[in-house]
Amino acid sequence: MVALIFPGQGSQYAGMGKELAENFPVAKQVFEEADDALQFKISTLCFQGPEEDLKLTANTQPAILTTSVAALRVLESELHLTPAYLAGHSLGEYSALVASGALAFADAVKTVRSRGIFMQEAVPVGTGSMAAILGLDGKDLEDVCREAAQGDVVAPANFNSPGQVVIAGHVQAVDRAITLAKEKGAKKAMPLPVSAPFHCSLMIPAGLRLKEVLDDVKVSAMKMPVVSNVEALPNQDYAQIKDLLVRQVSAPVRWDESVLKMVDLGVDRFVEVGPGKVLSGLARRIAKGIPVGNLEDTVSLKNLQANF
C-alpha cells in the first residue's frame, strides 16, 4: 500500500522541475498552466532562479506546488501507482489535494500565491522567527514554550519527527525558548532562516484572509483521502477541506503523527513527489524500515521504476 507525500517550503532550489519539463510533455504542460494562471513566468523562477527571489514566500509556495504537480503528472503517466493515501507538509497539503482531485491545479497555484503573501504580511519583518529544536520530546518542548512566552507568542509549529520540532513566535520569545531548550538538554536549538513565524497564532490574520480567497474556490469530490496537517487523520469529505486549510495556517503541522497514522492504516511504502528529499528523510526516521522513494528528476524516476 503506497502513500504519496508532498514537500513544503524549504525544499525549493533553482533548477527544480527543469529536467522533467524538458523530458515529459505532461510536466511541461503543468509549468505552462502555472505561468498562465499566475500571469508571470513561475517556470523561469523554478528553472533558473535566482535563489533570492525563489526564497520569497509568495514565490516559493506556488513554485514548489507547480514542481510537485509536474512530478505527480510524470509519476501518473510513467508508473501508474495508485496511492491509498496522500499527505503534504504545510504547503504540500495543497499538492496532495490536487492529487486527490479536490482542487483544480490552476485554482491551487493561485491560492497558494495568495497564501504566501498573506503569511508574509501577517507579521512585520523582524518581529517573528522560527527555530529547530532537536533532542526534546513534544511535551518537554511545550513546557519550554510556556515558560519562554512571558506574554509573547512562542509555540511548537512543526512536529517533524521524534526529537525534531520547529517552534515559532515572537523573536524574543523564540530566543528565550532556544536558551531554555539547551538548558533542558536539547542536542541542538538554532534559529531558522525564515521570513515569518509560520504555523503559530501570529498567523491567524493570514488564515482569515485566506478564507476569503477559498470562499471562491471550487472543491470537488476526492478520489482518495488526504491526511490533514491539522488533525493527522485521513479526510475524504471535501466539505471539510476549506476549514482545514484555514486552520492549518496557524495550527502546528503534525507530520510525525500523520506518517504514523498512514503506517497504522497499512501503508508500507512512501513516495515523496516534488523537489528535494526532506520528507523522505523524515519518513525514514519516523517509520523505520519502511521503503521510501522520491520523484523529482529522471534519475529518481528510474530508481522508482526499478524499486517500486
Q: What amino acid positions are annotated as catalytic residues? A: 90, 199
Which positions ≥6 away from 65 have C-beta within 8 Å? 91, 94, 95, 98, 108, 109, 112
C-alpha cell at 269: 511504502
Q: Rounded to the nearest 10 degrees, what angle do helices 241-250 and 92-100 cross at?
A: 170
Q: What Cα–Cα distance (Å) separates residue 135 from each residue in 90, 266, 288, 304? A: 22, 29, 18, 32
Write the burial class of residue 292 (CB in 10 Å: 0-12 exposed, 13-18 middle, 19+ buried): middle
C-alpha cell at 162: 521524534
Strand stretches in 62-127, DSSP E: 85-88
Distance between CA 16 and CA 62 in Å, rounded?
Answer: 13
Distance between CA 5 and CA 294 in Å, rounded?
Answer: 9
Enter the DSSP assignment of 270: E
Distance between CA 60 and CA 56 in Å, rounded?
Answer: 6
Which positions ≥6 away from 146 have C-beta within 8 Å? none
Helices (H) and strands (E) in the chain, counts: 14, 10
